Amino acid sequence: MAIPADAGLSTRCVHGHTLEDARGSALLPVYNTTTFAFPSTADLLDVIDGRKPGSLYTRYGMNPSIEALEQTLATLEGAEMAWAFASGMAAEAALFLTHGRDGIVCVGDAYGGTLELLERQLPLLGIPTHLILGSELGRLDGLLAGGARLVFLETPTNPALELLDIAAIAAVAHARGALLAVDNTFASPVNQRPLALGADVVTHSATKYLGGHSDLTAGALMGSRELLLPVRDWRKNLGSTIAPATADLLMRSLRTLVVRVRQQNASAQAIAEAMAGHPRVARVLYPGLAGFPGHELAKRQMHGFGGMLTIEVAGDGAAAARVADRLRVFRLAPSLGGVESLVTQPCTTTHHGLSPAERARRGISDAMLRLSVGLEDAADLIADLRQALG
């Protein structure tokens, strides 16, 4: 059943696809099958040759559980279509191999796996890649004039929560005929819709807020039919398609995406305000704080400030590690976006592979602790931080 075209985000999260089961089950069953049988060769050829819609082989993505998820993912970002992947990195890799072969510019800090793929692995295939800081945006036009055709960025960035202006960077990219892809994992579609701001493609690690329960690994690409259709064969033959059971679990999670993220926004704001006045906290990095450098841009381009914040403990890296080790409600783990609150010290986890000098260049200090705010009571989370800070 089709919902109105102008339905709101919560409605789209619950009723985001039009697939129906022949038996009339209220929820689409999980199509836990690798292949599909046909009444005749003629019917099989109709589906293979694209004359009729239908399911065929799960790795191709031609499976109702995957298609229902993809319809839902597309509508969340206001995209024409979406592809679902086995992980966020699988989605990014397929995007880079399809649209980044002439060169990729990554603006600002990015997820560690993304940086590794761009710095070490894609160059082995002869793909030129360039990593520039948000403060080096002046270099972007020259790199695009030199042939790079894909700009990639995350905003807010990990772990410094730096804000990048999606509309302004899209304008620079488009003036040179290049594409802008935005990793919207940190913000989620509840807080930010990059396509509406001028981006061409959105990538997600659905492992984080979209999945939301730290119990699945998945990824997604959203964008126009023209840009996404050529990605399909890369996903198919790299074999990085999502599994049907994971697709169904992710669809279950998406039904509560809006209420989860709104609560996480509210708790993160309360924690940021409580930490801002704490004597053992040197700095609080959160887009929702009035004094934060990215606050004005965040108000313009985001619908909520997110569930991620970073505190810089007064003292050195060892002092921050002691605080992390004393936390009891926050669990020490390098992920984010789940219902349980997590803490990580970037210099020992997400940015451990970088030299201290490179971390400093990116504005990442050893005393930083990155918090992913879950769905526990905000008062309990604040009390936990206060006892750990001592």
Ligand X SMILES: *Cc1c(COP(=O)(O)O)cnc(C)c1O
Neighbouring residues of 1: CB distance < 8 A, sequence distance ≥ 6 = 15, 18, 20
Residue choice 16, 88, 134, 223 for contact with ligand X (CB under 6 A): 88
Residues 221-260 interacting with ligand X (rule: CB under 6 A): none
**Residue 285 pairs with which residues in a beta bridge?**
310
Our answer to whether residue 209 is catalytic in this structure is no
Task: Report the residue number, 58 or 217, with the smaller CB distance to ligand X.
Answer: 217
Distance (Å, whole) CA 390 – CA 386: 6
Number of residues lying near ligand X (CB under 6 A):
16
Our answer to whether residue 183 is catalytic in this structure is yes
The overall longest dimension of the chain from CA atoms, in Å, is: 74
Question: CB under 6 A: which stretch of 29-37, 49-57, 87-95, 259-267 binds ligand X?
Answer: 87-95
Neighbouring residues of 314: CB distance < 8 A, sequence distance ≥ 6 = 279, 280, 281, 282, 367
For the chain, the C-alpha Rg in angstroms (whole number) is 21
Distance (Å, whole) CA 250 – CA 252: 5
The runs of H, that is alpha helices, within 241-335 are 244-254, 257-276, 295-301, 317-326
Residue choice 113, 293, 334, 363 for contact with ligand X (CB under 6 A): 113
Task: Report the residue number, 89 or 95, with the smaller CB distance to ligand X.
Answer: 89
Minimum distance between the CB of residue 206 and ligand X, rounded to whole angstroms? Answer: 7
The residue sitting closest to ligand X, measured at its beta carbon, is 88
Task: Report the residue number, 55 or 209, with the smaller CB distance to ligand X.
Answer: 209
192 exposure class (CB count in 10 Å sphere: 0-12, 13-18, 19+): buried
Residues 127-166 interacting with ligand X (rule: CB under 6 A): 154, 158
Our answer to whether residue 236 is catalytic in this structure is no
Minimum distance between the CB of residue 11 and ligand X, rounded to whole angstroms? Answer: 27
CA 101, 233, 254, 385 torsion: positive or negative? negative
Our answer to whether residue 208 is catalytic in this structure is yes
Residue choice 111, 209, 292, 305 for contact with ligand X (CB under 6 A): 111
Quick check: helix, strand or coil at residue 57? strand
Task: Report the residue number, 208 or 351, with the smaller CB distance to ligand X.
Answer: 208
Q: Is 185 in the site for ligand X (CB under 6 A)?
A: yes
* Catalytic annotation, residues: 59, 111, 183, 208
Residues that bind ligand X (CB under 6 A): 87-89, 111, 113-114, 154, 158, 183, 185-186, 205, 207-208, 217, 219
